[in-house]
Copies of this chain bind each other. A is one copy, B any other.
Amino acid sequence: MISFESDYIEGCHPLILKRFIDTNLEQLSGYGADHYTAEATAKIQDACCDPLAQVYFLVGGTQTNQIVLDTLLAPYEGIVAPETGHIAVHEAGAIEFTGHKVLTLPSHEGKICPQELEDYCAMFYADGNHEHMVFPGVVFLTFPTELGTLYKKSELQEIRQIANKYGLRVYLDGARLGYGLMSEECDCTLADIAALTDVFYIGGTKVGALCGEAVVFTHQNMPKYFATRVKQHGGMVAKGRLLSVQFDTLFTDDLYFEEARHALKMAKKLKEGFEAKGYEMTYVSPTNQQFTILTDEEVALLHEKGFRFSFWENLPDGRTVYRFVTSWATLESNLDALLEALPEREQA
């Protein structure tokens, strides 16, 4: 069985396991006071071109969104996010659990439109009753989005200006950050992300780690007693090495970006392979998630040949979208087999 279901179905990059072995019997202080935390932090500061960036390692994505948003927001503030965003739909209420409302804007292939953000904020403050409403506090961006799309640098700049105008903070969910930054279509660098957001996270879980996300506060704005608040949310890890050794490895010799480049190369090949056989990709995704419409027969055929991929959504016209995901671990031979198995379509 060969799966393209997600980018969290494999283990981790072998160099990480090697590193765990090499450091295993070293006695290290807990709770992030180990020297690998310091070293990984320095490497991430370097990669962000931000020597003062404050870095904190957490275990998973929902946890990271929950903790960072809750500590960034005042209690009367909510999060502005696209209505199809993971945070608005698929976090099981983890945001509301901490008392904050998700305020939704229309989704444009997974992205917020800056003008609609501006209008939302303008209308909010123009409303005489706005003190009876939830204040927009953070604008939530995913990069790449749940649909594989990317914000342009100019869009991020516009959003930054709107945020400055209305006192919003900009948070960027980088669960698949590497797969965005290394895309041919990406016109942003990690340093741009660091400069244009207030806080973002560098996803490890989906980009080669066993677990772990690196939260980066870029304007000396880590919330006061952040470690205490992480513990209060249940997110503190006793053996900080679990996370620091992984990120230290990922940010040594550009491993993180190299992994991403492999996944993107595979995604491009996958996309071109599908298109060559007459399939149209559903969103304009230049990253490691590719979407296409398949018939029930095509799905059955691929399943029978041992391939796995994800149901994505039913369209109003009755057709169904599926997702294929590549990662740092995708074997080219498996991809070749998939493309081989894919039935040729009659071209229109």
Interface residues of chain A, those whose CB is within 8 Å of chain B, are: 1-3, 5-6, 8-12, 14, 17, 20-21, 23-30, 59-63, 66-67, 70-71, 74-76, 78, 89-94, 96-102, 128-129, 131-135, 205-206, 210-211, 224-225, 227-229, 231-239, 241-242, 311, 329
Contact = CB atoms under 8 A, between A and B. Distances in A.
B25 A10 contact: yes
A238 B11 contact: no
Q: What is the total number of copies of this protein in its complex?
A: 4
Nearest to A34: B9
26 contacts: A5-B29, A8-B30, A9-B27, A9-B28, A10-B25, A11-B25, A17-B20, A20-B20, A60-B234, A60-B237, A63-B234, A75-B232, A76-B92, A78-B96, A89-B133, A92-B231, A94-B231, A94-B233, A94-B234, A96-B100, A96-B101, A205-B239, A206-B238, A211-B239, A211-B242, A234-B235
Contacts of A26: 10-11
A211 B224 contact: no
A100 B94 contact: no
Contacts of A242: 210-211
A131 B128 CA distance: 39
A78 B93 contact: yes
B11 A134 contact: no
B225 A239 contact: no
A60 to B, nearest CB: 6
Contacts of A236: 60, 62
Chain A to chain B: the 10 pairs with minimum beta-carbon distance, closest first = A11-B24, A63-B234, A92-B231, A93-B134, A66-B234, A8-B238, A96-B101, A9-B27, A3-B27, A76-B228
Nearest to A234: B63
A92 B132 contact: yes
B91 A231 contact: yes
B227 A131 contact: yes
A96 B78 CA distance: 10
Given A9-B30, A60-B238, A97 B232 contact: yes
A134 B229 CA distance: 10
B100 A131 contact: no
Nearest to A243: B211
A335 to B, nearest CB: 14
Nearest to A20: B17
A311 B128 contact: yes
Contacts of A60: 234, 236-238
Contacts of A70: 75
